[in-house]
Structure 1
Amino acid sequence: MDAPHPLDGHPRTRGQFLQPLRGTLSIAEEIGFKHHALIVTDEWGERTRQAYPYLGDLLLYLENDQGLPYAINWTVKDTLQAFNERRARMPKTLVQRQKDREHARLRGCLERLYYASAGIRTIEVAKDQIPAAVEANLDLLFNIHGLPVSLDPILLEDFCAAVQDAVRAGDPLNFLAIRFGRRWGSTSHFIAKIYQEIWQRRVIVDFNKPILIDHPLNTDGPDLLVQFSSLFEGFQG
């Protein structure tokens, strides 16, 4: 059974025809994949066989250069190899390995065709694709980006302007946070604001090198969203 496009009803898609998502049962039959099923007991005790509800990992809702929304499906694993074989780390016979590889191939095909039926691209994302420094920097910023900063808005504007000046001058930012903290208190809030400025892309840094605010920030490397732009590209046309 078809399902509405995930963006159906979005204010910016009003008046557009969005292709629905095809049912996984029909796709599985087409590609020769054994669709899993569940036995469900209803409130009257009747047991019925129903299709297993396959779930994706991350469905991203993005906006293109024209301001139009689009969706991308990320399927996520720890290694790229894991996309090619189910239970890849388990010891198994050659026959079982071949079965698990075929299962992984068809399972991936089912997911790609399911989302492609609605014009949604599926992208494989693996942890071992991400450089260790990038991962560490993102972990650091993610843990801080949502912290409340209880400082006067005008004071924060002055501080953020000073941050920009310090970055351009190649000065470490920790001294700036300490100086503001000594005068206004809440040094930790000023430090958090530095990391939040980086997270919100008001300060662009090279994520391939450690983000250390007691050193000059590395600003000459690639923009992270440019470096990984292929992970956010939808179908062309």
Structure 2
Amino acid sequence: MSTVFDIEQKQDSAERLLAVADKEPRYILFADEFNKVARKTVESAIHNIELDFSWSKFKNQKQYNVNGIKQVHLLRMQMKESWILDAADEVWLLIDRYKPKRTIGTSGKLKSSGFKHAIYPDPDNPKRPSEILITGKDMILDFGQAFYFKYFSDDAHTAIGYGNKNLYQNRSWVYLRFRLKVRKGDKTYYSNSKGVIEMLVKNDYPIGKTLDYKLV
């Protein structure tokens, strides 16, 4: 089956460049211009791939006593169009974490807020990967969800990097955005946002601390 990845890359020969040297450039399509259009076509196809995230049918797939959290509901990802898995060499799910604006050290420099992508692999956070290799169109994702939080007190957790900003009545939360990274040959493509979730830790009596999600 042919896909957008099969669009042939063009290259201008010395003979062709010489032949059009005295021509009006706006009437000529050069190889670089064609290849840029071809790349935009691939990027558009990747942007159109839809991902669904859910957890309601998989709430009994849980981890227990992870980082002081009694239950961690794992996240289900479903890819509506799976052609990309066959056509590309690798497809990765990127996880971006929202970070609030903050002042850096003693310099007084203000770092803007927004979704940030952590390095991968991150030696400082090996249990919290920011990239997951997609191996099927329907996957249960375990990406170290509990390690986005830390103990705040006996009754509460706090989201790492937020202080007390995202802590209210024993509930703590972070926002995560998902994107795709697609590799084909020596080229890498990045998608637009495929979904944003609020991941939160809350008291779930009598169980204790439970990690769950909301779609944003």
* Interval of TM-score (by shorter of Structure 1 and Structure 2): under 0.3
Q: Name whichever structure is richer in strand by fraction.
A: 2
Larger radius of gyration: 1
Q: TM-score, normalised by structure 2?
A: 0.25
Q: TM-score, normalised by structure 1?
A: 0.24
